[in-house]
Chain A
Amino acid sequence: MKLASNKSLIGWFFILIAVIFITLFYFYPMLQALILSFRSGMGVNLEFVGLDNYIRLFNDPVALTAIRNTFIYLIIQVPIMILLAMFFSVLLNNPNLKFKGFFRTAIFLPAVISLVAYSVIFKYLFSTDGIVNKFLLNLSVISEPIEWLMDPFWAKVLIIIAITWRWTGYNMIFYLAALQNVDKSVYEAARIDGANSFQQFFYITIPMLKPIILFTAITSTIGTLQLFDEPMNITRGGPGNETLTISQYIYNLSFEYTPDFGYAAAVSFVIVILTVIFSMIQFRLGGDRK
């Protein structure tokens, strides 16, 4: 008994350093952010203002635009990417497929490049006289160049295309790993019963992959709520805040404009609350009938 409690004490030493670091660099700043969000002022002189920052938030057109943009990315991009990732993984899971390794590596490769690097590449590829417009003009898909970086609609489309390019292959790997555990005889039985490919996909594959869909949906949602590198480096949030995200607005409030740390902290709680709400919704939708 004495030995056992001695062992348990030693165990605390093993976890001690990690607990200190995570407390100091995650929980303590989080608490500070909460306190900050009830204070306001420029630079270092902050005074207690109660809920003023949160009231200001709901009357701040830029904050509301940033929240709206983030929602647009979330609602359009995450489902497209998850469906694409699942679709590619099903195609790659075909046992008779040749060049499987090549296709898998090629589609995964975007996950290797840094967010800043690919953002800068995309900015140039999609510039008005860039190669994407040249290509589309040559194919006569469009008759004049698209203003990808200048048009409010196309700028959002560009951000969505960029994130989808970067993350589809990454998510696909999770589906591929999960598909390898699916019993082939289930598909055999379905085929004998006359189920076509689409029915197999919707009635067997999707239900089987449900835990992975949940996992990728949650990680992608959290990632999108924090989106920063891409709009910062592709569009700078422009044109006229039309691609601005919440994270970018917090950054601007803290480090680009005259710093108002209290208000920035209040805006950051929008992301915290949205993260919790979306995770809960997704757990509800995906978790119960596992």
Chain B
Amino acid sequence: MNKLKSIFTYLILSVAALVSLFPFLWMLISMTNKSVDITQGSLMPGTHLFENLRNLFENYNVGSALFNSFFIAIIATVLCLVISSLAGYGFEVYRSKGKDIVFTILLLSMMIPFAALMVPLFRLFGDISQVFPAIGVDTLYAVILPYVTTAFFVFFFRQNTKMFTKDLIEAGRIDGLSEIGIFFRIYMPSMKNTLAAAGIISFMNNWNNYLWPLVIIQSPENQTIPLLISNLGSGYTPDYGVIYTAIVIGTIPTALVFFFLQRYFVEGMTGSVKG
């Protein structure tokens, strides 16, 4: 009976693992094949990788899409870490009745679906364009700005600040550090794990964001990787080899982040549920 159960367990998990991994294997194999071989369902690696890469970089602007995606994801993540941790720290360390009410109101913004925001945001950036075209419609900054702080990250930092030893703050004050000095020189260095976890989540969200860039970006040179992949995929005569190559290139950064920082990633995901 026990043996049967164990065979059953391995069988189920193997099928689940195979189903989960197959699309990844498929895209890795297909990026080395010609379009014709891919349509025939070839499961053998081919010799067309460099051809696909050259085609992609020469004809489809993947270089600028990569740059744009990195620019957006890195700037948004850095700003998000600083602003959200300041707020999470402020709410927890300088706790007061007024701030608790503000915190609760901020949390309500997590319930607002993006679909309800996209039209007013688009119009807002239209207005901004009249005054500051450099951060208005069809700029990378317009993609970044709405994601610079979200209530989720403020909440996340507040939860994690609860575990920060408050005695260190007193010690800093006795040493004559200013309040902001305590934040940057004592608090930040001791929150490396939390910063890493929040940083990964923010980077991935911004790297993979699709709907908002689709709304706000118009010119091809401002395209991000998801927009490029989406455009390649909706073409009438798709070159499958090129498309799979673009998908692999677009997935490498998040996959690397995941493999190297897996521990923080899982900690960050589950840490936000606790408490």
Point out residues on A near B: beta carbons under 8 Å: 7-8, 10-15, 17-19, 21-22, 25-30, 32-33, 36, 88, 91-92, 94, 96-97, 102-103, 105-110, 112-125, 129-131, 134, 165, 169-170, 173-174, 177, 197, 212, 215, 222, 225-226, 228-229, 232-233, 236, 246-247, 250-251, 254-255, 261, 264-265, 268-269, 271-272, 275-276, 279
Are B149 and A17 in contact (CB-based, < 8 A)?
yes
Q: Chain B binding site: helix, strand, loop or mixed by DSSP? A: helix
A226-B231 Cα distance, complex, nearest whole Å: 21
B237 interface hit (Cβ, 8 Å): no
Contacts of B179 in A (CB 8 A): 7, 10
Are A103 and B16 in contact (CB-based, < 8 A)?
yes
A265-B95 Cα distance, complex, nearest whole Å: 37
Q: List 5 A-B contacts (CB under 8 A).
A: A13-B90, A14-B87, A25-B145, A88-B13, A120-B233
Are A134 and B41 in contact (CB-based, < 8 A)?
yes
Q: List residues of B (1-41) whose CB comes within 8 Å of A's CBs.
A: 5-6, 9, 12-13, 16-17, 19-21, 23-24, 26-27, 39, 41
Give the most central of A18, A124, A254, A279: most B CB within 10 Å. A18
Are B208 and A177 in contact (CB-based, < 8 A)?
no
Stretch in B47-55, B60-68, B116-124, B191-199 touching the partner: B116-124
Contacts of A261 in B (CB 8 A): 119, 123
Contacts of A125 in B (CB 8 A): 23, 26
Are B5 and A197 in contact (CB-based, < 8 A)?
yes
A272-B262 Cα distance, complex, nearest whole Å: 34
Across chains A and B, the number of contacting residue pairs, with CB separation under 8 Å, is 249
Contacts of A103 in B (CB 8 A): 13, 16-17
User: Given A174-B270, A275-B113, are A15 and B23 also a contact pair (CB < 8 Å)?
Assistant: no
B156 interface hit (Cβ, 8 Å): no
Contacts of A112 in B (CB 8 A): 204, 251, 254-255, 258
Q: Chain A binding site: helix, strand, loop or mixed by DSSP? A: helix
Are B119 and A33 in contact (CB-based, < 8 A)?
yes
Q: List residues of B (192-251) whose CB comes within 8 Å of A's CBs.
A: 204, 207-208, 210-211, 214-215, 225-226, 229-230, 232-234, 240, 243-244, 247, 250-251
Smallest CB-CB A-B distances: 9 pairs: A11-B94, A14-B90, A18-B87, A29-B120, A120-B233, A114-B208, A32-B120, A106-B17, A268-B116
Are A30 and B21 in contact (CB-based, < 8 A)?
no
Contacts of B208 in A (CB 8 A): 114-116
Excluding A7-B179, A112-B204, 18 further A-B contacts by CB distance (< 8 Å) are A12-B99, A17-B87, A18-B149, A25-B117, A25-B148, A36-B119, A96-B6, A107-B17, A113-B24, A117-B247, A121-B244, A124-B240, A222-B113, A233-B233, A247-B211, A254-B119, A265-B119, A268-B119
Are B24 and A109 in contact (CB-based, < 8 A)?
yes
User: Given A107-B16, A107-B17, A120-B243, are A22 and B226 also a contact pair (CB < 8 Å)?
Assistant: no
Residue of B nearest to A11 (CB): B94
User: Given A103-B13, A174-B270, A225-B113, are A33 and B41 also a contact pair (CB < 8 Å)?
Assistant: no
A251-B112 Cα distance, complex, nearest whole Å: 16
User: Given A103-B16, A123-B233, are A246 and B251 also a contact pair (CB < 8 Å)?
Assistant: no
Q: List residues of B (137-161) whose CB comes within 8 Å of A's CBs.
A: 145-146, 148-151, 154
